[in-house]
Structure formats: structure tokens, C-alpha cells
Structure 1
């Protein structure tokens, strides 16, 4: 029997025509026409989750690891709304996720309250303040163009999530148009204006102490090589934000690394007579909690127009970071290698190390070192909002792979589902890191991990509660409240899902983690440890 093509087929055909090969999501009643269409087109693989917010985190992780627009497929109402917190992270971190949701039947749209299952007065409005753009389809013939427009929005710098809604009856009804074979959703490049590049190059070339702060926009735009070229031509030291940790080689003699919460590094950045901030909005974390006060001239290259000069006056260059860095590298006046600059950089890092050495943090240093030693250089890592993750923001050497965390919006539960998404597009092991509090947000995804047999090792640091909140509350109020948690035996629970699990210790962590990462397929390593944060220095 010949299958009659439907609106659901048009969705899948459009995604394949745009280049998608992996999608994430969970079926629901209104979306059945879409998920049935996936059955007929196996070239678009679906990696299913157990909770919609985790499906959205998985799409986010896949997009970060591959640099590709990644589809997220969910159903109406409760299913769609559960993705909002995850899409907030994607928006804050400029991650190109394409959300496609079903909707109630067309007859219920437009304000009528007809009592359909999952009905909302205005589902689209719920997403308008979170994603870059929303698109509502009314007829099957609109599907390819709506998906292409949303795809282009997601991919256009600054990247971010876009949202498409399609009513149930349109997904189930006849396609009405021929099969989709080609769609164009190529984003227009956000190139810098020439006069701005000329002025920025003049300022940097004439600077006595040029310094660069590189953000996540450098990594996302493929600007790493151009950044190295620019830094070496200028002999300019480079610090990286937490979101741009792989933007510059960690051990390069010009690398100031990422100790942005340390006053020694903040002071050094402030003293630059010309500071080029590339691919960062200088938000709370990148500005040492808004205490950063530059004394010299600031140049800011930023793709997000709303972030340009939002926190500091600057020569604002609205552009993709990679394109701007390439243009600048070709225009600045080169300088000879300067051992004095290398010595300055080394001195800043030595002062940071000296301050940390006086805080009795040997256990924390050992744990970070053990994880770094166990993880292959080309294996990406995904960190939840946990004390070890906060350490990694500053102390982690990303080497040849990305280090990703939920510090864009700061929501819990990111680590495991994002690693699942990355593993679906990566050949080799992927590391997820969570605390016991964050782990409980995504514990159900052990089932997805096992079902899809993905090569993810999940490190759970079990300190018996919300460790970072415990520290914050103790510092602020003298004691913590409601931060201590009952939790399962994580090893036994993982094994009940058929996932290999190991109870580790600080002394055996490197070996246990290395063994888990070397073993194909999913695994869990549980580290019972009470870790402490280093003392903040943003107060001077």
C-alpha cells in the first residue's frame, strides 16, 4: 500500500534537505504525525530522552559539539513548556537549536478556548522571550519555508534557538506539495565594517600594552587560528572567558588562561592601554561580577547587537568574531617576540597560583588534575552547575576539545543530557560531570544512555547536597538551610539500568575514570567528596 505523504513527512523532508542527520525529542499525542514520519526516513536518526528539558539539553550538547543546527522535536503544552529552561541556556550561550513543536488542532488557534488537551491561550508567547524567533504554521505548504527560516535564524550570528509550531491536523493531513529536495537556509555572514577594522587595528598597533579577552564567540565562529595569529603579531597576552576556554591554547606563552574571578588577572586586564574584548558581552562572570573597571581604551567585537557596549563604553564592532579576527590579523602592525611580555604573563599566573596555594585546597587541585589526566585530549566534556564545574571554569585546560557548561543561564541538570547529545555526534568518549543535586535532575536519562548505547562517562561528585548553595548560604548567613539532600545509591541505581558503575575515591579517581572512559558505552563513576571553592577575590 502506498503511503500518502503528510505534513509530518514535510517536516522530516525539510530537515533532511537542510542537512540534519540527528534529532532529539519525545513523542506526544499531538506530534504523532511527525514521529510517524521519522519511521519512514531512517536517515534522520532520533535520539529520544525521558524528559523534554533533557531532550532540549541533548540538542544543545549536540549543537555545541558539532557546530550544527540541531532539531528538537516535542509535543504541545506540557512537553513544549518543559523545554523552556534548557532553551534559555541555549539562548544565553548562543547555541543553534531548532525546536519544532506540535500544536492543538488549527480550529483552536487564534484565541478560541475550545478545551483541547494541552491547550494554552498562546503557546507561542511562552517562547517569544526565550528564543530568537517563533514561527507558527497554518497550512502544510508553509512547513518547508517556516523550517528553513527558523534554521537560518538559529544559525545566524549570534546563533541561538528558534521555534516552530505546527498544528496536529496539519501534521496528520495531506502534504499537498511534492517531496522537499532542496532548501536554502544559509545565514548571511556578519562581517565587520571596514572603517571599524581600520580604527581597531590602528588602536592595537599603537598600543603600548595591548591585551585580548576572548569569549565564546571566538570558539563558535571558528576564530581560534585567527586569534592566535593576531595575538602573536601584536605580542598581546590573551585571557579567555569561561565560555571561550578553548579559544586560545592553554599553555601558549601569551596565555593568561581563565582565572577571571581572581583579582590578579582582573587588575592586569584593567591596566591594558588597549583591551580587545572579542566574542564576549562582558557579563557578570566575565567581568569578575561587574567589578572590572578598564582604565584604557576598550574595543568590543560582538555579534549580539544588544550586548555591544551594554556594560562598558568601547569602540563597538558589530561582527562575527572569527571574521573580525581574520580582518584584524591582516591589518595590525607586527611586533617581534618580546620575552618581557612572556614574563609578565607568567608572573600573573604565578600570583594566582600563590594565592590558591595559601587556601588549603590540595584535595580540589588533586581532583581537577585527576579528571584532566584521565580524559583523552580530544574528548569533549560537559559540566553541570557544581563545585567541580566552577573549578573547571577557571582551572580546566581544554586541550583539543571543547569544555562546555551551563554557565550561560545557570540551570541544573545540564551535564548528562548535553553529553548524550554530544556523544550522538562524536566518535569517542564524552565526559559528563555533575554533583549529586544536579544529577537528580537528569537521572532518568540513564535509561536513554543505555537504550542508545552512547559512549558517555558520567562523573557524579556526591557531597550530600547542593554544595555550592551550601557554601553561598554559609558565607552569607552563617549557616545553610535546605541544602542537604537524601539521595540514592548512585552506583546501585546505575547498575539497575544496566550501566557499568564504580564507587571511586580521591586517591583512585584518575584510574577509575580512565578505565571507565576507555570502556566503550555508558558508565558512571561516583566520587564521594566534599569539595570547597577557592576564595573569591572580586571584592578587591
Structure 2
């Protein structure tokens, strides 16, 4: 063979390109599924996973605790409507994230958790390997909507396709995929460009005869009511139009807050727990409940459900939810947005200006009654709610933790757009949510974000300030400092239980914020809030604003 022939045979241009690793295909497919940001802490078991990250187009955010990673993914998902994605190490990474995953499960938030697990040869052997957790999937089984253990590299594309289908419908939540550490570097069988995402299944529309029946009932109703839940996030325009067409008051769960602009004269806000609103719902001749569980968490922890005296129409993608907490007279298993569009088309158009004015007057009176219920005992917090409304831009996202002021903002702070209210105050109801969730929301959306958390709650996840500093997020974090677990303290007093474990030593929050490289300030009057928040939005980096709570 000639020298020239030898050179031609070994030319790099004709040599076979190496096949991608499982980790590379994972990153490539995540981008195909429109993932742009992942949250995780690298560990010795995920080094080969991270080999696939550079050049993938994915942005990696490093929290300071895996619970923070999953809370960030949660906030990202709620603000964007897309799944939040976490990378976790084997064992402690999974257990550290468990609380945040359970919060997402409770609120039906799509979250993809990809964790390592020990080598296939070590699984179930009890050899005492690093991070070994016997039956790791058992830990997350109770709060995942789907799980899968990948046992060969070629399973990965199908596994991801199934995961994104599950997170799309009918009832999203966390999905956990675990991958043995020996599979991350394993070669795949095809070139990278051969792998493609699978489009999500179209959401079902309602049957025409069912829509016709619903339209007939609603069109003939004398005093209908519309109830919206968190599953109606994409149906704000249609819900508003239907409210106007029926001249019906609309009330929203805490998860639905802002889907219909709370300035709208027919919108009664998130006030489902108050007695006059309950009476109005119970005495309606037709109730249209859209994508809501009708659970005590929707009613802000009022345990007793409504005693419906009229017909109940329920719309939900999940057939199990259609009969949960209240049996419907008409069940529509379909997408909220599509169903409301169908109802709008089926209902006749008529001039109902006078009826709308009458309903607006009724809603105004109902809201006055709600205020008479929600403020006794918390009058000192009302000016702070007003100040928050002034400080939060119209398109702002408000992220709240379980803290006293947040319970008031649930009802009294009006929000104007869908995906404006991100809260953990009901549902699973954990602490430490708001700081990392606000970081996730700020990374997901160009809209301004404000976080509200208590002095007790922020101690759970305070380290995540460092992640916000790294990302240079113009993020105001309000710390409601009532010197302990104030809400629990009040409940102890009400129950005549001696206060124990609720009066806490607090650090110098402003000093701590500055030690992280964030800004910090302390205010003690509502009049100072707007300026403090405006300064925070103008700064490249987070600002911790400590609020001295009124006694």
C-alpha cells in the first residue's frame, strides 16, 4: 500500500465519529424537550453525568442544599409552566430533596428529578457502598406521579419520553428517574443527532353533548357561580369571558389567584373560606367548578366542604378528581381552556350589561363582608398588604412562605395575571420554600419577582442567598420578623397551651445578607416598603429586606 493510500484511509474526515455517552444523550434530549435550566449539586457519583453538560445549551444552577434545588425547580415550573429539572446525587441528595418534591406533588407541579443510584452490580447487595440507600425508589414512591430505574443506556430516550408525557397530563407532579452511575459514561448505539423528543399528547376536549348540557344549565341559571382552581392557569382569557357572558361571580383558589384579574368587578378573589362567600356558593343554582380539587387547601384550611344546593358541573383532566370531595351532577373530563372555549361558543350572546352591574354590586358587598372576617386580630398587618400592592409591579410574581403576613396576602393582595401567586401556605405547607422558589421563578421569567418569608422559615434555606448572588438576580426577599413562629404562637395562646419552642433567637439578617454579598436593609413602617423594593429591583443582586412585624 502506498503512503498516499495509507494517509487517505486514516483521514479524520472519513473516520467514524465516536458514539455519544448516555449522559450526552440525556443533556441533548433535555434541550429537545425545551429544558433550558437545571438545578443541582455535583457529587462524586454524578461527575460523569456532568461530563455531558458543557456545550449542551443547558444552564446549570448550583443551590447550597438539594432541598433548595427542588424548591428552585418548583418555582421555575410555576412561573414558566414548564417542568423544573433537578440533578441529584445518590442517597442523601434524594432524601434532602424529598420535602420539596412532596410539596410539588401536593400542588401538582411538574418536576423532573434525575438522580444517580449505585452501580448495577451493587444494587441490592448491601455492600456498604458510598451513598448506598436500599431501595432508593421507595423513598420517593409516595410523592411521585411516576418513577423509573434505567437499567440500560438504550432505555433512556423512551424513559424521558414517558416522563414528559406524564408531566404534561392529566395531573402533573414530580417524576423520578434514577440512573446507575456506571451508565452515565456508557456509549449509546446511535449518533447524537438521531435522538428526538416526542411531542406531548394533545389535551382532550369535552364531548359535544356534555358541553350542550352544561351550556343549557348555565344559560338558564338565575344565580350561577364559577370556581377556578390551579389547573386553569392557561384559561384566564376564557374564564374572564365566560364570567362576563354569564354575569356570574368568579372565585379562585389560592393556586388560581390571578387567573382572572382580581380588579375585575365580577371577581371575588381567593376568598373561598369566608362565610358569606360560602353561603353564595351553596345557594347558587349552578356551580361551574373548573380544575379545582374543592379541597380544604382550596378553601384555605376550612375543613367542611360546601353544602351545594344547586347543580354542580365539574371540569378536570383527571377523572379521579371529578368525584373527589364533591360529587358532580355533570362531570367533564377535559382540558379547562378547551372546555371553556366550547362553552363560550355554545352559550347565546345577549346584552347582559344590567346583570353584570348587579353582580358587580353583589361582589363588592361580598368582599366587604370578607374583609370584616379576615382582619379582626390582624389589623396591624393590613397597611403592609396595601404597601405590598403598591410595591409589586402589575405583572409581578409574588412568592410566599408559611408566615403570618402571607396568610393575609392570600386574600387581600390583589393579583392581575396568571402565574402571579406562588405559595406553600396550604397544601403540603412546608417552611423554607419562598427564598429558593423565588430564585427559580426569577430565573424562569422576565417578570419581576418578590419573595416573602418569615424569620423562622428563612433559616431553613438561608444559604440559597448565595445562589441568588451568583446569578445577580434583582430579587427583593422580604423577611417578616415576628421573633419566632408567630402563627403557631397565636394558636398556642388560643388553645391555652403554654408557649414552648416558638420564641426564637434570630441572627442579624441584614448583616448575614451582606456577608453573602447581597444587600440588606431593615424597615419598620409600611411607608418605607415601596422605596426599599424599588431599590432592590434596581440592583444587580438580591436584597434582603427585614420587616419588623407589628406586635
TM superposition score normalised by structure 1: 0.93
Q: How far apart are the structure 2 equivalents of 1:223 and 1:75?
A: 38
Establish whether residue 121 from structure 1 lines up as the match of residue 134 from structure 2. yes
1:367 maps to: 384
Q: How far apart are the structure 2 equivalents of 1:445 and 1:351?
A: 40
Q: How far apart are the structure 2 equivalents of 1:26 and 1:4?
A: 27
Map of 1:229-378 to 2, 5 A cutoff?
A: 229-287=241-299, 288-314=302-328, 315-335=330-350, 336-337=352-353, 338=355, 339-356=357-374, 359=376, 361-378=378-395
Q: How far apart are the structure 1 equivalents of 2:437 and 2:117?
A: 26
Q: CA deviation at 1:328?
A: 1.5
Q: CA deviation at 1:478?
A: 4.1
* Gap regions ≥5 residues in structure 2: 1-11
Count of residue pairs brought into register by the alignment: 526
Q: Per-residue CA shift, 1:76-119, capped at 9, x if unaligned?
A: 1110122121111212212111111111001123x332322122
2:436 maps to: 417
* 2:483 corresponds to which of 429, 451, 464: 464
SS at match of 2:280: helix
Q: How far apart are the structure 1 equivalents of 2:377 and 2:487?
A: 18
Whether contact under 8 Å (1:450, 1:498) holds in the other structure is: yes
Q: How far apart are the structure 2 equivalents of 1:134 and 1:465?
A: 38
1:398 maps to: 415
Which segment drifts farther, 138-147 or 57-66?
138-147
Q: How far apart are the structure 2 equivalents of 1:240 and 1:463?
A: 29
Map of 1:184-203 to 2, 5 A cutoff?
A: 184-203=198-217
Q: How far apart are the structure 2 equivalents of 1:168 and 1:185?
A: 29
* 1:515 corresponds to which of 527, 532, 535: 535
Q: Give the direction of change, closer, same or farther, for the CA distance of 1:348–1:123 in structure 2 (3 Å limit).
A: same
1:437 maps to: 456
* 1:137 corresponds to which of 119, 140, 150: 150
2:65 maps to: 51
Whether contact under 8 Å (1:429, 1:457) holds in the other structure is: no
* Gap regions ≥5 residues in structure 1: 532-540
1:178 maps to: 191
Map of 1:55-70 to 2, 5 A cutoff?
A: 55-70=69-84
SS at match of 2:461: coil
Highest Rg: 1 or 2?
2
Whether contact under 8 Å (1:153, 1:187) holds in the other structure is: no
Q: CA deviation at 1:316?
A: 2.0
Whether contact under 8 Å (1:25, 1:52) holds in the other structure is: yes
Q: CA deviation at 1:202?
A: 1.6
Map of 1:471-482 to 2, 5 A cutoff?
A: 471-482=490-501
Whether contact under 8 Å (2:101, 2:174) holds in the other structure is: yes
Which segment drifts farther, 49-58 or 202-211?
202-211
Q: How far apart are the structure 1 equivalents of 2:538 and 2:143?
A: 39
Q: How far apart are the structure 2 equivalents of 1:242 and 1:353?
A: 17
Whether contact under 8 Å (1:278, 1:321) holds in the other structure is: yes
Q: Give the direction of change, closer, same or farther, for the CA distance of 1:192–1:88 in structure 2 (3 Å limit).
A: farther
RMSD: 1.9
Q: How far apart are the structure 2 equivalents of 1:389 and 1:238?
A: 22
Q: How far apart are the structure 1 equivalents of 2:377 and 2:82?
A: 43
Q: CA deviation at 1:291?
A: 4.2
